[in-house]
Amino acid sequence: MPEESQVPSAPADAIAQSWVESAPDKWRPYLRLARLDRPIGTWLLFWPCVFGLALGSHHRFLAHKWDWFMVLLFGIGAVVMRGAGCTYNDIVDHDIDARVARTRGRPIPSGAVNIRHAWFFLAAQCAIGLAILLCMNWYSIILGASSLVLIAIYPFMKRITWWPQAWLGLTFNWGALVGYAAMRGYVSPADLVIYGGCVFWTLGYDTIYALQDVEDDALVGVKSTARLFGARHARTWILFIYFGAFSLIAISASVEVRSGFATVLLLPALAHFVWQAHSLKPASPASCLRLFRTNRDTGALIAAALIVATWTL
């Protein structure tokens, strides 16, 4: 096994010529462990936070300095907690990752970072996340801390259920609840509905992501919705799931802003969902990765619609 000082080449799904490649050799494995060479996950964690913040704003979100401060806090939190989640996931899954072509180059299975140092790195990221959480109200602090239960269980779900993507949705979109609570001090039924819509959204895009690994996952015995649906039916299932996501998000927005105009504003996001399902080539890992990454744009479209909707109040 390589010594920790040895730095493996970038993982197959990392962004080419990422700034991480220019970082000092000793830092690079930890930056990769936090997935800073793959920012798409941070965006997908961040956007639901913005959804919650926008819905929780009383009027004209981003018109006040406090709104921008909260966006900044959640942005930093998304970077740190996404990194913490990936670090924990890699610690738990290092044996499986070593047997999957796409993941065997990750820092832990490649030997670039040992398990003990990974735990220290995880603790440091969680400490920063806690510091950010302590800037919010007590309801948000308790709600945010409760997500650790979902995070702790997630890596094991692929071993016991065909629906680990659904559990990821419950975990990854917790920020929609915390964001709303940070603005209001409680969680409303409409916020719970948009959280449900985000869970469907994650179920769709992570199924697309998992299609890259169906063969290796079958060999090592890892379950996923990509394997459950199969390449033949994946596009139909993903389209159906995306329609569910849009419907719940649109209902939530319409109820919270008390206007059907919110649904009209969300139509570009619906079009993007349909385009993803139509363009998907389940047998092509490159197509799956490309479409998965476009969900950063989906999140931006939803966020923009919700922000504009708050200005119609």
> Can you tell me which residue has the tokens 């738990």?
92
The yes-or-no verdict on residue 117 having pLDDT over 80 is yes
Mean pLDDT of the chain: 91
27-310 topology per CATH: Tetracycline Repressor; domain 2 (1.10.357)
pLDDT of residue 12: 52
| Banded pLDDT at 6 (limits 50, 70, 90) | very low
pLDDT tens readout for residues 226-283 = 999 998 999 999 999 999 999 999 999 999 887 778 899 999 999 999 999 999 999 9
pLDDT tens readout for residues 39-66 = 999 999 999 999 999 999 978 999 999 9
Q: How far apart are the first and last CA of the chain?
A: 60
pLDDT of residue 18: 74
The yes-or-no verdict on residue 160 having pLDDT over 90 is yes
pLDDT of residue 17: 62
Q: Can you say how many angstroms the Cα of residue 84 is from the centroid of all Cα atoms in its chain?
A: 12
Q: Can you say how many angstroms the Cα of residue 178 is from the centroid of all Cα atoms in its chain?
A: 15
pLDDT of residue 230: 93
| Mean pLDDT value of segment 296-301 | 98
pLDDT tens readout for residues 11-28 = 555 555 678 888 888 889
C-alpha–C-alpha distance, residues 155 and 90, integer Å: 9
Q: Where are the domains of the chain?
A: 27-310
| Mean pLDDT value of segment 182-210 | 97
Task: Select the more confidently predicted residue: 37 or 294.
Answer: 294
| Mean pLDDT value of segment 197-203 | 98
CA angle 241, 247, 248 (to 5 degrees): 95
